[in-house]
């Protein structure tokens, strides 16, 4: 045999046995987002590299070292990048298609694969999937609260174990520059106590130091001046409003005045939803407000707020029995050539009626019943030479082990009656 080709490191096949869990999660998301009036947006999985450099920021881990970047071809030989996140792409589309001319806010959601060159480990892949929402065109704190509530509703509807919402404000263009300098001055005084990354961050992205997980850096981080203590009045009011809305619908949260996000574009509200059950990669959902990004990407000044949620991490938390097994109502067994054709027709007819049925793979009867059991079918429908001659079928309830003879034209009623919980004759 030739050498086998395997999936690239850091990627995972979602196999048929797991696909039901993904569909379950996606179905609940779609239904919930419909009730909140969010519209889906689908953008390309690759974009001009420039979009991420400008939209995410040069001094972030993502742009600095995690992007899959390649050259286009022919007349389009410029630089492209597989999307590492989707806010930049959504904002690009929002500007390109002038969604800002439509009534605000535009409430958008997306789902799809993202790509980051990282060291693969539990809950960290090179191709992973995010569900995300973005509310574009309003600065009102009600939307900061709403996007958080969408996320907590979604997680609650999935029946996930206790998750904690952590909330902070990172300030805005009024108060952050002064805080940034204040923090930078403090960090410059503690360079020996910081890891190499944080020494670099001190100069180009000092807020990111607060996000460092290296044990050595923790004492310096703990004693650092907080943005919370340095917010301007507008930011303080905004934060109080967000908290008030959350309280109004009973969403609990914890203030974390050291919470910052890795990306440069956040203003005011930032939040994460974390789980105690995920080990090191414990953030399931992360987001915040980004009032400067649309303008940064060439659109008119447009406030916005949103989040991205890692679906692999969410699925790690979803209990194995959270998802109902796909239901097969009947396995249709044709015994003999003519009966097999009849079975094929019957299966086709039942499927047109919306019933989930499959055709047996043939062979000895006991093998066919084993197949029915393995597929979780409720009924076996048996068509042999005798049945064919009389225009009937045997419908066997596999759990009750009861069998009845039914005219062919009544098979679907027998199965459908059973589906609706009706009783058998």
- The residues that touch ligand ATP, with contacts defined as CB under 6 A, are 85, 116, 118, 123-125, 128, 130, 262, 281, 283-286, 308, 310, 312-313
Q: With respect to ligand ATP, which residue has the nearer C-beta, 138 or 281?
A: 281
Whole-number minimum distance, CB 98 to ligand ATP, in Å? Answer: 27
- Quick one: DSSP state of residue 121? B
Whole-number minimum distance, CB 159 to ligand ATP, in Å? Answer: 19
Whole-number minimum distance, CB 50 to ligand ATP, in Å? Answer: 19
Whole-number minimum distance, CB 83 to ligand ATP, in Å? Answer: 11
Q: What angle do CA 145, 247, 139 make, to 5 degrees?
A: 25
Q: With respect to ligand ATP, which residue has the nearer C-beta, 45 or 375?
A: 45
Q: With respect to ligand ATP, which residue has the nearer C-beta, 64 or 123?
A: 123
127: β partners: 115
Q: Answer for the pair 270, 240: CB distance below 8 angstroms, yes or no.
A: no
Hey, how many other C-beta atoms are within 10 angstroms of the C-beta on 121?
11
Whole-number minimum distance, CB 203 to ligand ATP, in Å? Answer: 21
Whole-number minimum distance, CB 116 to ligand ATP, in Å? Answer: 5
Whole-number minimum distance, CB 10 to ligand ATP, in Å? Answer: 8
Torsion-angle region of 12 (φ positive above 0: left; ψ -120 to 50: alpha; else: beta): beta
DSSP 55-88: HH-TTSHIIIII--EEE--GGG-SEEEE-S-SHH
Q: Answer for the pair 290, 156: CB distance below 8 angstroms, yes or no.
A: no
Q: With respect to ligand ATP, which residue has the nearer C-beta, 116 or 190?
A: 116
- Three-class DSSP category at 377: coil
Q: With respect to ligand ATP, which residue has the nearer C-beta, 165 or 414?
A: 165
Q: Using DSSP, how many helices (H) and how many strands (E) does the chain show?
A: 15, 16
Whole-number minimum distance, CB 246 to ligand ATP, in Å? Answer: 19
Of 419, 385, 421, 379, the closest CA to residue 402 belongs to 379
Q: With respect to ligand ATP, which residue has the nearer C-beta, 243 or 312?
A: 312
Tokens of 384: 């042999």
- Quick one: DSSP state of residue 37? T
CA distances, 6 to each of 79, 129, 265 (Å): 28, 20, 37
Token look-up 């009937």 returns: 392
Compute the distance between CA of residue 308 and CA of residue 310 in angstroms, rounded to an integer: 7
Tokens of 242: 């967000």
- With CB atoms as reference, the residue minimizing the distance to ligand ATP is 310
Q: What angle do CA 148, 153, 155 make, to 5 degrees?
A: 100
Whole-number minimum distance, CB 210 to ligand ATP, in Å? Answer: 13
Q: Quick one: 295 exposed, middle or buried, by C-beta within 10 A (0-12, 13-18, 19+)?
A: middle
Q: With respect to ligand ATP, which residue has the nearer C-beta, 257 or 397?
A: 257
Q: Answer for the pair 329, 376: CB distance below 8 angstroms, yes or no.
A: no
Q: With respect to ligand ATP, which residue has the nearer C-beta, 63 or 297?
A: 63
Q: With respect to ligand ATP, which residue has the nearer C-beta, 163 or 347?
A: 163
């Amino acid at each position: 045999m030739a050498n086998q080709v395997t999936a690239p490191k850091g990627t995972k096949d979602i196999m048929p046995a797991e696909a039901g869990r993904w569909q379950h999660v996606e179905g609940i998301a779609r239904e919930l987002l419909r009730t909140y009036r969010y519209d889906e947006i689908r953008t390309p999985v690759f974009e001009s590299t420039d979009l991420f450099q400008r939209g995410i920021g040069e001094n972030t881990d993502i742009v600095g070292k995690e992007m899959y970047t390649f050259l286009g071809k022919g007349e389009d030989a410029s630089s492209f990048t597989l999307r590492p996140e989707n806010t930049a792409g959504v904002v690009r589309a929002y500007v390109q298609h002038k969604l800002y001319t439509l009534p605000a806010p535009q409430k958008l959601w997306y789902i799809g694969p993202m790509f980051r060159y990282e060291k693969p480990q539990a809950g960290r892949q090179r191709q992973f999937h995010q569900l995300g929402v973005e509310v574009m065109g309003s600065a009102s704190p009600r939307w900061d609260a709403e996007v958080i509530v969408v996320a907590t509703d979604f997680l609650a509807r999935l029946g996930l174990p206790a998750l904690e919402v952590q909330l902070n404000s990172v300030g805005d263009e009024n108060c952050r520059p002064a805080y940034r300098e204040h923090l930078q001055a403090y960090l410059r005084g503690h360079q020996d106590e910081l890891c190499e990354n944080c020494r670099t961050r001190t100069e180009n992205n000092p807020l990111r130091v607060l996000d460092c997980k290296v044990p050595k850096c923790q004492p310096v981080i703990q004693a650092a001046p907080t943005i919370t203590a340095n917010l301007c009045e507008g930011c303080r009011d905004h934060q109080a409003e967000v908290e008030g809305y959350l309280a109004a619908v009973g969403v609990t949260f914890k203030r974390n005045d050291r919470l910052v996000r890795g990306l440069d574009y956040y203003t005011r509200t930032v939040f994460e939803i974390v789980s105690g059950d995920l080990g090191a990669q414990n953030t399931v959902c992360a987001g915040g407000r980004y009032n400067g990004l649309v303008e940064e990407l060439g659109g008119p000044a447009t406030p916005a707020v949103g989040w991205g949620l890692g679906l692999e991490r969410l699925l790690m938390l979803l209990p194995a029995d959270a998802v109902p097994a796909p239901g097969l109502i009947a396995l249709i067994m044709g015994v003999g050539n003519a009966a097999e054709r009849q079975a094929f027709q019957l299966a086709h007819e039942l499927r047109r009626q919306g019933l989930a049925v499959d055709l047996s793979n043939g062979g000895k009867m006991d093998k066919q019943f084993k197949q029915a059991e393995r597929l979780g079918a409720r009924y076996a429908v048996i068509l042999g030479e005798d049945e064919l001659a009389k225009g009937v079928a045997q419908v066997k309830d596999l759990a009750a082990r009861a069998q009845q003879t039914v005219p062919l034209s009544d098979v679907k009623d027998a199965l459908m009656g059973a589906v609706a919980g009706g009783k058998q004759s």
